Structure 1
Amino acid sequence: MHELGIVFSVADKVLEIARDNDLTEIVAITMQIGEISSVIPDYLKKCFPAAVERSPLFAHTELKIEILPARYLCHSCGESFSLEQFKESGGCPACGEQDFLELLTGRECFIKNIEAY
C-alpha cells in the first residue's frame, strides 16, 4: 500500500508550508487524484490518521479528495474524449483510431489546496 507513503509525503510538504507561513492550524487539505492513477482514494483516507499523529497542526484537519477524469486526445482527428467514451467505442469515438491516442489527464496525484490559518 503506497498510499501510506503518499500521505506521509503530503503531510511533510504541508508541514513545511505551515512552517514557512507561520500557520497554526491546518483546516483541510484537498488532493486531486486521477481516475486511472494507481492511488486508491479510500486507502488515502484510511491512512490519513497516521499523518495526523505527526503534528498537532493536523488535529482537526479534513482530507478532501477530488477525482480528475481521464481524458484522451486523438492525434488523427484532434478529438478529445473521456475514458468512458474510449471504452464504449474501443478507440476514438469520432474516427475509430486506436493507436495515435494520448492520455491527457487521469494519472495525477497532487495537493490542490491547503486551508489553514
Structure 2
Amino acid sequence: MLPVDQALITAQRILVVEAPAVMELLSPKPGAQSVIVTHKRMLNAAMLDSIRPDAIVGPLISPDWDIVDLAITVSALAYSGNFFVLTQPLPRAELVIREVRAVCPNLTVKLIEVA
C-alpha cells in the first residue's frame, strides 16, 4: 500500500462516494476533518454546495459505474479539486490518471492503491 496523499490527510471535508475502504486509511480528526459517505445516485449540486468538499474519493470500478463516470458527474456539478481513485495496485496506474484528466481537466487526479 502506498502512503496516503497529504492532500487527503489534510482535507477538512472529504466526500467518499461508494468507497468505504478508504475509511481504514484515515485517522480520526474530530473537529478538524469531516468525512461524508454517499452513493453516486445521491450526488447533486445542492449536496456539493452544502458540503464543499476539499477531496472526493471514489472506487476505480463499482457495479454500476466507473471512475470516469464519477469524474464527469462531479465536474458537471462544478466540482474542481482533489479527486482520489481507490484501487488495487495497477501495473499502469498512469493510464487511469491520464484518462480521467483527459475527460475532466479541472480535477487533480490521484490514486490510492490498497492491497
User: Above 0.5 in TM-score?
Assistant: no
Greater CA radius of gyration, 1 or 2?
A: 1
Task: Give TM-score scaled by structure 1 length.
Answer: 0.33
Higher relative contact order (CA 8 A, sep 6+): 1
